[in-house]
Amino acid sequence: MESIMTELLYQTDSYLKEFQAVIVAVDDENHGVVLDKTAFYPGGGGQPVDKGTLTAGENSFTLKRVKRIDGQLVHLLDGEGEIPQIGETITGMIDWQRRYQLMRTHTAMHILCGVIFRDYGALVTGGNMDPLKGRMDFEFETMQKELVAEIEAAVNAEVKNARPLQVNILPRADAFRIPDLIRTKINLLPEGITEVRVVEIDGLDLQADGGTHVKNTGEVGKIKVVDYKSKGKINKRIYLELEDA
């Protein structure tokens, strides 16, 4: 297959639940299709790949997953049904309940990052999430059991503060001039990337990030800091859960 760029609709509209797209390539070997655009999140940055369905005419397929194969985003289709052809229009439907839970969870994790940097000066080193629960790793030597309740109160205060989120796609050079981005290891971005997507929680957190988020921290709902573990003297892993709204 020749290299085709798929427009990533979720990068500018994370609330898009349903979309139409044209099939621009077919991957028979992997039982998948490449689309001119997609709202399915392909996974990355700790946020798992979306689930959902693709419908072409009478035929409906469950999305097995979206996977990058040879530089292209291939939508792998479940079942034995005949793959639709190049040029056909499909309707994609995201499993919205799950995705919205992931958007809330991902935003909760950014709230946690922002609060822990602001209140304790600790840097995040990584994280992972499932719907309504996540874990984040920090360089946080002074973390101790007594801080759990304090952190939980601080993150929930930021939910109550209903801070708006903004997503901007910036030229790489502009992004590198934002001091707050340096702490989130923007310098690890591959050389070839010319634009950086920046997710900002107004007044709290700023990160280079490809994931999907809610538009206001008030949508996250109640956050519970359920546990933490020492992963060495400096590295601490903090676990959070969201209440099902």
Locate the DSSP E strands across 150-212: 165-171, 195-201, 205-208
Q: How far is the CB of 123 from Zn ion (least distance, A)?
A: 14
Q: Among residues 50 and 209, whose Cβ is nearest to Zn ion?
A: 209
Going by C-alpha positions, the residue among 39, 21, 227, 243 that lies closest to residue 132 is 243
Q: Among residues 14 and 38, whose Cβ is nearest to Zn ion?
A: 14
Distance of alpha carbon 104 from alpha carbon 35, whole angstroms? 27
For residues 148 and 241, the answer to whether their CB atoms sit within 8 Å is no
Q: How far is the CB of 56 from Zn ion (least distance, A)?
A: 33
Q: How far is the CB of 209 from Zn ion (least distance, A)?
A: 4
151 HSE (CA, 13 A, CB side): 29
Going by C-alpha positions, the residue among 234, 226, 58 that lies closest to residue 134 is 226
Distance of alpha carbon 86 from alpha carbon 10, whole angstroms? 23
Q: Among residues 34 and 112, whose Cβ is nearest to Zn ion?
A: 112
Q: Among residues 152 and 209, whose Cβ is nearest to Zn ion?
A: 209
> Footprint of Zn ion on this chain (CB under 5 A)?
209, 211
Q: How far is the CB of 166 from Zn ion (least distance, A)?
A: 14
Cβ-count burial 130-144 (b if 16+ within 10 Å, e if not): ebbbbbbbbebeebe
Q: Among residues 75 and 110, whose Cβ is nearest to Zn ion?
A: 110
Q: How far is the CB of 94 from Zn ion (least distance, A)?
A: 19
